[in-house]
Amino acid sequence: MTQKEIHFSVEVYKDVEELTTEDAALLTAARKVTEHAYAPYSNFLVGAVASLANGETISGTNQENASYPVGICAERVLLSCIASQYPGVAVNAIAISYDNPKGESDHPISPCGICRQTLAEYEERVKQPIRLIMSGMKGEVFIVEKARQLLPLSFSASDLV
């Protein structure tokens, strides 16, 4: 038997003030767009804003439903919008933020498993990594250079051949 370790690094910033102007603007937009989330059941509002390779900026929010399994996360709403409106266009970066009125919203969270898989496959489709900027409404900011880093043992299209 052998053992394999898988590592990745995360850039950690004290707050939005330490970010580049572009990253700060994207994160500020993600924080603002949480207002448009439809989350009457969880009351956990998530916003995601993408900077595209063609210069466009697109946003998405989580959308819940009384039939819980049919809700969709902000990241997948966002990627669906991008794929529909700008097919084949690469995503440079996505800022993800959340507002939890029951909590502090003061630390980064990362995408759920389904969203990680979707992000990794989108990177594969357009052949470009997606930088993820993750934070709550205040506090620390995490940045990973490739969404795929969050799902190191992902299932991909190449596994289906």
Retrieve residue 42's tokens. 């969880």
161 in any annotated domain:
no
Dmax (CA) of the chain: 51
Q: How many CB atoms lie within 10 A of CB 45?
A: 22
Q: How many CB atoms lie within 10 A of CB 9?
A: 9
CATH number of the structural domain spanning residue 62 = 3.40.140.10
For residue 106, the SS3 value is: coil
Q: What pLDDT is stored for residue 147 in this prediction? A: 96
Per the annotation, the verdict on 75 as an active-site residue is: yes
For residue 64, the SS3 value is: coil
51 in any annotated domain:
yes
159 in any annotated domain:
no
32 in any annotated domain:
yes
> By percentage, how much of the chain surpasses pLDDT 90?
89
User: How confident is the model over 88-101, as pLDDT tens digits?
Assistant: 999 999 999 999 99
Whether pLDDT at 159 is above 90: no
Q: Confidence class of residue 161 from pLDDT cuts 50, 70 and 90?
A: confident
Amino acid making up residue 38: Y
149 in any annotated domain:
yes
58 in any annotated domain:
yes
List 17, 64, 75, 104, catalytic entry? 75
Domain total of the chain: 1
Q: 110 or 154: which carries more pLDDT confidence?
A: 110
1 in any annotated domain:
no
Put simply, whether the predicted model's pTM sits higher than 0.75 gets the answer yes
User: How confident is the model over 12-68, as pLDDT tens digits?
Assistant: 999 999 999 999 999 999 999 999 999 999 999 999 999 999 999 999 999 999 998
- List the domain range (segments joined by +) for residue 54: 11-154
37 in any annotated domain:
yes
